[in-house]
Structure 1
Amino acid sequence: MKLVVLGLSLSSSWGNGHATTFRGLLAEFAARGHDILFLERDVPWYASQRDLTDRDWCRLEYYSDLADLDRFAGEIARADAVIVGSYVPEGVEVGRFVQRTARGTTAFYDIDTPVTLAKLARGDFEYLSPELIPGFDLYLSFTGGPTLRFIEEQLGSPAARALYCQADPELYRPLDVPTRWDLSYLGTWSADRQPTVDKLLCAAARALPDSRFCVAGPQYPADIDWPANVERIEHVPPADHPAFYAASRFTLNVTRADMIAAGWSPSVRLFEAAMCACPVISDKWEGLDQLFAPGREILLASTTEDVIAALKGIDPAQARAIGEAARQRALREHTAAVRAAELERHLAETMAAKPMAALTGARGMKE
């Protein structure tokens, strides 16, 4: 299969979770025998923070603007499948270009589904607009569950399928390093996540002054009053994520408000930590118990007291057992190889359905 992907970024993981998602997924997709071209908008904030070291599995090209994208019109037209990702700059115009140019199957891959749907509901068409959705043959969604039915029945998608994030076990694995923090959190600052970070990490840090905490990620406002026992790290590149998790007794998973409301929206950090056998303390949302078993593979917290109870009450052997159980679940169900097989199946099914849909439409017109 010849696949063209137009995504937010492959070259840089700075300030986004898209790059690591695409890297794992597409590397395994290439390993299944497919040919991939990734087209990335050349923007200065990613150009100065590029951390992709190995891309033998993919051809990566940059385009400067919409006019420059036309250089790749022939390859988009000849591709068996073309995927446009969420948050692509000028994504509506990119989507229109793909839909009028591609002759193969077209798909939208939404790594931000609840955020996207909330934006559409308030008329914010930053990278996707309602009229584009029926024009994509396939809507690949970061969110599963009832949201898929909504995308089909209310937004007119011909086919909506879950394609969750994942983690590559070749890259994310347990490491034997000294413990630096009792609880860590790895994530870009977000206004709707910060109250949960304050409640589940910062308040716990103030209550446990002899324990050590860490918040890692870019874009946090300078005026946040971090407790003295919370270490701040501006950016942890993907290559260093396993060591970060290995240095943590527990790590925190915090979910954006729109994703909690939708449910069934696991973050890539959740799978990365699990693959590294780092026990996760997570906020609660619908569908999480279908991904990891609460109490056995993951710990759930709603209050500061829940976090304190975990940090004080779970001994090292119990913590290791929870982390290892999560790793085994992730190895079975949440690897890049599993997702690549799912992507291949979704595209193949859509390709098989297209000729039938065209034939049915032609018959309907004749009748």
Structure 2
Amino acid sequence: MKIAFYGSSLLSSYWNGAATYYRGIIRALAARGYRVTFYEPDVWDRQKNRDIDPPDWCEVVVYEGTLEALRRATDRAHDADIVVKTSGVGFEDDALLGAALGAARPGALKVFWDVDAPATLAEVRAGPDHPLRFALEEIHVVLTYGGGPPVVEGYRKLGARECIPIYNALDPQTHHPVPPEPRFAADLTFLGNRLPDREARVEQFFLDPAARLPGQKFLLGGSGWGDRPLPPNVGYIGHVPTRDHNALNVSAKAVLNINRESMAEIGFSPPTRVFEAAGAGACLITDAWPGLGLFLDPGEEVIPVRDGQDLAELLPGLTPERAREIGRKALHRVLAEHTYDRRAEEVDRIFRRLIDTRAAEVAA
């Protein structure tokens, strides 16, 4: 089956936290026989900051950031059995949604894949005329990469026929244990771009504890933090390409995950960083959120903290031996239960069920 997949970027993780998710899902779907073409706009300097070359498991079409180029790209949706429009593409998202759905042939499966469902739902609820409200009438299924029951219920109230979470996971070919590198050595590392609904939480969970623990070494990676005043024991290393994530994760005593505010509030939203860290065998500390236990066992495979004070009290007493044990258990858990192969198996079942239903509707 052919999929036309319209997303932010498969080739670049620059200002694009969903890249790892897209790569893992699409590679695993390709292994199941799907032929995927990924369409991404040339915006936000992503093409200047590619992490990977075009892969052999997916055709990638990069189009200019113009409405004319967008329309040419969406015209090709007519050739696909499944048309996927994701959230947060970053260029004319509303126009892209309408054009991609409009170009789909009769009988094709139309999918909206939301990679930031809490934020999307808040935006749609605030806009009675939001285009997604009306598009849900023709979208056959909404897939999300997190959110659990609260997001499913939210989409159902907006009129979605179905909403099914397809959670982030691990691609063992990409994220796995490697030898540590001295340039990434730290007591605690955090990797995340500077975003409006994350900055206050980074202050609370990372920068405040750093200020309280001058004898501990902290490392901050991600785009946008260059002009932010930092405590003297926090090293800033800027954007970290995907190829360095494994070394970054294994070189610190522990790595920190901080969910964006909307995702932390709703819960059931493990970001890609959780599985990247666990896949490398790192000791993961995370802000506590509902549903964490569905993915990793708190206290055994991951350490949840309620706030910066929790973290400041925890970190000095975390021995390297305990950190390694937590990382070992996390790696075992994600390899057993949370790989993209397992997620793709679920997506395949969903797609085949809905395509059979569509075929019966068209025949009738």
Q: Specify if TM > 0.5.
A: yes
Residue in structure 2 matched with residue 175 of structure 1 by the alignment? 178
- 8 Å CA contact 1:184–1:213 kept in 2: the answer is yes
Tell me which of 304, 313, 333 is aligned to 1:300: 304
Equivalences for residues 305-344 of structure 1 within 5 A:
305-344=309-348
Tell me which of 178, 199, 202 is aligned to 1:197: 202
1:252, distance to aligned residue in structure 2 (A):
0.7
Structure 1 unaligned blocks of 5 or more? 363-367
C-alpha separation in 2, matches of 1:74 and 1:227: 51
Tell me which of 274, 277, 281 is aligned to 1:277: 281
Q: Secondary structure at the match of 1:321?
A: helix
TM-score by length of 1: 0.92
Residues 1:15 and 2:20 are matched in the alignment: no
1:66, distance to aligned residue in structure 2 (A):
3.1
C-alpha separation in 2, matches of 1:46 and 1:312: 38
Q: Secondary structure at the match of 2:122?
A: helix
Residue in structure 1 matched with residue 96 of structure 2 by the alignment? 94
C-alpha separation in 1, matches of 2:154 and 2:349: 20
Q: For residues 226 and 90 of structure 1, do their structure 2 counterparts lie closer, same or farther at Cα, with a shift above 3 Å needed?
A: same
Q: Secondary structure at the match of 2:83?
A: strand
1:151, distance to aligned residue in structure 2 (A):
4.1
1:246, distance to aligned residue in structure 2 (A):
1.0
Bigger mean CA offset, 213-222 vs 245-254: 213-222
Superposition CA RMSD, Å: 2.0
- 8 Å CA contact 1:25–1:339 kept in 2: the answer is yes
- 8 Å CA contact 2:12–2:50 kept in 1: the answer is yes
Q: Secondary structure at the match of 2:137?
A: helix
C-alpha separation in 1, matches of 2:94 and 2:156: 21
- The size of the alignment, in residue pairs, is 358
Q: Secondary structure at the match of 2:99?
A: helix
Residue in structure 1 matched with residue 43 of structure 2 by the alignment? 43
Q: Secondary structure at the match of 1:134?
A: coil
Which AA in structure 2 matches 1:19? A
Bigger mean CA offset, 34-43 vs 105-114: 34-43
- 8 Å CA contact 1:205–1:227 kept in 2: the answer is yes
- 8 Å CA contact 2:181–2:251 kept in 1: the answer is yes
Deviations 1:305-332 (A, max 9, x none): 3213322222222111111111111112
Residue in structure 1 matched with residue 192 of structure 2 by the alignment? 187
Q: For residues 125 and 295 of structure 1, do their structure 2 counterparts lie closer, same or farther at Cα, with a shift above 3 Å needed?
A: farther
Residue in structure 2 matched with residue 133 of structure 1 by the alignment? 136
Structure 2 unaligned blocks of 5 or more? none
Equivalences for residues 18-97 of structure 1 within 5 A:
18-43=18-43, 45-64=45-64, 65-72=66-73, 75-88=76-89, 89-97=91-99
Q: For residues 330 and 202 of structure 1, do their structure 2 counterparts lie closer, same or farther at Cα, with a shift above 3 Å needed?
A: same
Bigger mean CA offset, 234-243 vs 38-47: 38-47
- 8 Å CA contact 1:111–1:141 kept in 2: the answer is yes
- 8 Å CA contact 1:119–1:125 kept in 2: the answer is no
Residue in structure 2 matched with residue 143 of structure 1 by the alignment? 146
- 8 Å CA contact 1:161–1:346 kept in 2: the answer is no
C-alpha separation in 2, matches of 1:226 and 1:220: 9
Identical-pair percentage:
33
C-alpha separation in 2, matches of 1:156 and 1:221: 42
Which AA in structure 1 matches 2:322? Q
- 8 Å CA contact 2:181–2:248 kept in 1: the answer is no
Residue in structure 2 matched with residue 227 of structure 1 by the alignment? 231
TM-score by length of 2: 0.92
